[in-house]
Structure 1
Amino acid sequence: MGTIDQERVAAELELLRRLGPRLSGSAEHAALVEHIAADLRGAGLVVAEDRHRFTRWDPPAAPRLTAGGRAVPIASVFPYSGAGRVRGPLVRVRRGRWSAARDAIAVVHVRNRELPLDAIVPVWKGSAPWGALAHPLIAATLAGLGLGRAKRAGVRGVVFVWKGLTEDAARGQYVPFTLPYQDIPAVFVTEDVAGDGELDVPADLVDAEMKTVWTVVEGTSAPRETVLVVTHTDGTNEVEENGHIAMLAMARDLVRTPPRRTVVLAFVAGHLRIPAVSDHGQAASRWLADHPELWRGRAVAGLGVEHLGAVAPDLLYASTAAMRDLVAAHWSGTTPLRVSKPGPLIQFGEGEPLHQAGIPTISLVSSPVGLLSTEPQPVDLDLLHRHVDSFRALLRRCDEADDLGVVEPAGAWDKAKAVGRIAVKLPGALR
């Protein structure tokens, strides 16, 4: 397999830094996709593509909030919330009682509490259970679910006030990112506001397009069987998303040493704008739905490659015991090694659609607090190198292994038990 090309890795990271945020369908996103496609073609591979048209919400360059005539710093704008300038009294809303802020600007506290991660992310035997996790994505998503009700209640705009998140950590958070367009301007701040307010979110709604690209490397002796490898290309910083770095290294490996099975490398678009490509799951859900000929009745294994070198414990999923054993033998990441199982209710990341399709899968989706920040983020370069080499080794093992296990779909009883665990653990965390 050879050692990793560290100069190539450094060049890819520098490209991500230079491009900055690659929000779905933006010029920066398109530039990264074209770079990936050119690299694959340069290796002698044929690149296929899907084009997705959608309405893009462009973040405003200069959002503005005033309270009592005083300018209030905005940590971030709620993605795809709304656009325009609204005025009115700033009214504190508690427990979702949006009617209290009719014809006003609602002020809602968002507490970045620690939540029991082990309630939704189980682990394989021999791995330590997950502890509590406080992540702004979870808190912002839960808070954002109320925006539709706010709009219907006649609220003019919403100011979400972070509690339990520092000013530095709050800055640039592109959260939440899974909700449809809300048509009501909303922002996040880190200080309480009161008095008469004015909120200006001069965002644009434009027709846009983004591309998913993939390449197929034909197998030599078992071409009907496929191994799928997926990442996404839209992202916010050097960690989210950098999975293409490992996959381009895999592509070069496959050209040098053709695989026994057919390998499909897919670089999907839409992770940061899932409603534009799918009404459920992840961005890869759309790609799987569009191309069943590449996996249905053919796929024997899958890899989900995300967040290489993230400064956080590895959140590494294995969907069968055989895949867990491959991880134990070939993974070099953060220590101690913890191997998670896909939960009955949820699995994070683009490996989830592969698992839902019944494909034995290993996927990495580590989640530092700054994962979705548009501010530059640290990358552990040594860890990234080990992540890349681990995925390269796992791809070879998936190509060679005779039996990678059978995915056991979660039944109604499994889901009911998971709901029960959450019901027991979550209320205490939310007090």
Structure 2
Amino acid sequence: MLVSILAAFAAAQAAYAQATAPALDQAAQQLFFDRLYQTNLRGPRWTGNENQNTLIATVAAGMQLAGLTVETLETNFSRWDPRWWSLSLKLTNGTTLGLPTTGYWPYSGDSGLQGVTAPVHDAGSYALFPNQTANSGALNLTNLPANGTILFFDNPSPTRNYSEPGYGILGSSVPLEEIPELGNLTNPHWQSAKTLNFTQIIQLGVIGVVASWVNTSDANGALQFLPNSGAPGNGSVHYDVPGVYVGNSTGETIRQLVADNEVVSATVVLDAPTLDATTSTIIGHLNGTAGSNNTIIVYTHSDGPSIIEENGPILLLTMAEYFAANPLSINVDFVTTTGHMSGGHVNESAWMAARPDLLLNAKAAIVCEHFGAIEWKDNFTSGEPVFEPTGRYEPMWTMVNSSSASDDLHQLYLNAFEGTPDELRMAMVSPQTVNGVLSNWYGAGGSSILGYSDIPTVGIIPQPDYLWAAMVDGGWSRLDVDMAVTQIEVILRLIMSLDAQFVAGTL
């Protein structure tokens, strides 16, 4: 009898908690939908372009209207602006063969509309070491043509593994066997770690680059903004070696034609001037009722190619409006940073130096990105990869720091998933030190600084294969707004739990 009474009491408590859990009302949900839809209509939010600046200004104004104090930190930089690109081969039979591309190598160079033309050198494969880091020495850079070269090579993507020993699994919202992606991430956007030694190839006479995707469908590789780190420069000068990507089948065609000595030259067109631009980080401060300096940082970035990659500002605005109407005791700083898509030419974490007090006052940090992402993968069943939806949502990969001070935050985060649908899969992974090297913390650039700090941090970063891709529909067909709402409500519950700990004096 006692057991049944206790079980009934526990069930009643759970039902009460669920009934009283914070939730967006119908009006807030409709407004969230409208903002996502209308933002998507404007096109990609590349760092410093008009679309990104419009999004930032609109979110800042929305936070001010909600009653937050908003600070804007502006950065001037030189923005690389890709406009037109193409690839063609002049053959020995006198014909010109136009070839499809899947995109361009960001910040690689500017050929103008006239393009650059030179003989093609097949450098083989930009291979990977067993630890999945780039082996630039694998490229064959010997015996290049004397009067300029178009460098061609295969560019395989690394595989990432969130299983041990690189990452410790500290918890999940569903059994781990329901997250098979855990041990095998083949997402092309991880190619961001593979850069070229532009100084070296320029000295060798390379004037253009053609990189071929391998083991990836053309649709999966299309318009990926890779590598994220771009070509090196001093913030205003970029190496002028225009580069484009091609799909696997096109790469095989190029390689065969070159091997058969049927190619006289290749022409790479990448019209991509560099423009003076301004980009901004905004910090929205919401005062808590306790009147203390203590705060929770909620962080994201605002630049990206799709409505999946950078819906963070709209997530944060929605949360800010909710807590403005439902006050907390603790302060909340909503930080929307810039520089994520700048090829490394804008420092994403510069706000931390400009406002060191934010980190000094922070009791916890939450990084929110890429909510509502529908999972798409290459299906190799037919032999050739076909990019298609899997019928699932992307797991909410959540980077967490593993210090004992973070244990309470981890548990509160797990608790926030109580009552959510099984389709919402989350795994907390913590970077581990292996052979003296600390594994990478993925996500918006500044979040790694938070994650490696003493501030308890959760960095939520669903990682779809198309994350870095600029899609024709802006990614709208791969966004589930209802799921994004559910994920927002998880964060609302987490913040309220942190606030309750703050009031109790245990945060």
Q: Indicate the residue corresponding to 1:24 in structure 2.
A: 47
* 1:11 aligned residue: 34
TM-superposed deviation, 1:100? 3.9
Distance 1:232 1:303 in 2: 13
Counterpart pick for 1:73 among 100, 110, 121: 100
Contact 1:16 1:237 in 2 (8 A): no
C-alpha distance in 2 between matches for 1:29 and 1:275: 17
Residue-by-residue CA offset, 1:377-402 (whole Å, 9 max, x unaligned): 20122321111111111122222224
* 2:72 maps to amino acid: E
CA distance in 2, matches of 1:231, 1:116: 24
Q: Provide closer, same or farther for how the CA distance between residues 348 and 77 of structure 1 changes in structure 2, counting only shifts above 3 A.
A: same
- RMSD of aligned Cα (Å): 2.3
Distance across 2 between alignment mates of 1:404 and 1:303 = 20
CA positional deviation for 1:356: 2.7
Q: How far is the alpha carbon of 1:115 from its aligned partner?
A: 4.0
Please report how far the alpha carbon of residue 125 of structure 1 lies from its aligned counterpart in structure 2 after TM superposition: 5.5
Structure 2 residue aligned with 1:47: 70
Structure 1 position 257 matched with structure 2 position 326? yes
Query: 1:61 maps to which residue?
Result: 84
What is the rounded CA distance, in whole Å, between the counterparts of 1:15 and 1:77 in structure 2? 27
Identify if the C-alpha distance between structure 1 residues 262 and 113 changes in structure 2 by more than 3 Å, giving closer, same or farther.
closer
**Equivalent of residue 167 in structure 1, options 210, 218, 235:** 218
Any idea what SS the aligned residue of 1:246 has? Answer: helix
Match of 1:133 in 2: 185
Q: 2:466 aligns with which of 346, 370, 377?
A: 370
- Matched position secondary structure for 2:213: strand
Give, as a single letter, the amino acid of the residue that structure 2 aligns with 1:91: H
In 2: Cα distance, 1:188 partner to 1:76 partner: 5
> Within 1, Cα distance between the matches of 2:47 and 2:333?
23
Helix, strand or coil at the partner of 2:284: strand
Residues in 2 aligned to 1:206 and 1:200: alpha-carbon distance in whole angstroms: 19
Task: Give the aligned residue type for 1:101.
Answer: L
Contact 1:249 1:392 in 2 (8 A): no
What SS is found at the alignment partner of 1:111? coil
User: Equivalent residues in 2 for 1:323-362 (5 A)?
Assistant: 323-331=409-417, 332=420, 334-343=423-432, 344-350=438-444, 351-362=447-458
Question: Aligned with 1:275: secondary structure?
Answer: coil
SS of the counterpart of 1:304? strand
Question: Residue 191 of structure 2 contacts residue 226 of structure 2 at CA under 8 Å; is this kept in 1?
Answer: no
Q: Secondary structure at the match of 1:265?
A: strand
1:43-62: CA deviation from partner (whole Å, max 9, x where unpaired): 12222101101111001234
Q: Is the Cα contact below 8 Å between 2:298 and 2:366 reproduced in 1? A: yes
Q: Deviations over 1:127-184 (max 9, x none)?
A: 7382111111223532x23444322322111100111111111211111122334431
Alignment of 1:259-408 (within 5 A): 259-273=328-342, 275-278=344-347, 283=348, 285-296=349-360, 298-311=361-374, 312-319=394-401, 320-331=406-417, 332=420, 334-343=423-432, 344-350=438-444, 351-375=447-471, 376-377=474-475, 378-402=478-502
CA–CA distance in structure 1, aligned partners of residues 458 and 506 of structure 2: 12
Q: Secondary structure at the match of 1:176?
A: coil
Whether the 8 Å CA contact 1:99–1:154 is kept in 2: the answer is no
Distance in structure 1 (CA, Å) of the matches to 2:192 and 2:457 = 29
Measured against aligned partners, the alpha-carbon deviations of 1:42-82 in whole angstroms (never above 9, x if no partner) come to 21222210110111100123444435321111110111011
The runs of at least 4 aligned residues of structure 1 exceeding 6 Å deviation read: 403-406
Unaligned runs of at least 5 residues, structure 2: 1-21, 125-137, 233-237, 375-393, 433-437
Does structure 1 retain, via aligned residues, the 8 Å contact 2:23–2:489? no
TM-score of the pair, normalised by structure 1: 0.86
The one-letter code matched in structure 1 to 2:365 is G
Q: 1:86 aligns with which of 110, 116, 124?
A: 116
Cα 1:404–1:159 change in 2 (3 A) is farther
Larger radius of gyration: 2
1:196-226 Cα deviation digits (max 9, x unpaired) = 2111111111111101111111222252211
The match for 2:380 is: none
Partner of 1:423: none
Does structure 1 retain, via aligned residues, the 8 Å contact 2:53–2:279? yes
Q: Map residues 210-221 of structure 1 onto 2, 5 A cutoff.
A: 210-221=279-290
Aligned equivalents of 1:327, 1:404: Cα separation in 2: 19
The equivalent residue for 2:150 is 105
Q: Which runs of 5+ in 1 are unaligned?
A: 407-431
Partner of 1:426: none
C-alpha separation between the residues in 1 aligned to 2:87 and 2:216? 21
Q: 1:335: Cα distance to partner?
A: 4.6
Shift of 1:307: 0.3
Identity between Structure 1 and Structure 2 (%): 23
Counterpart secondary structure, 2:75: strand
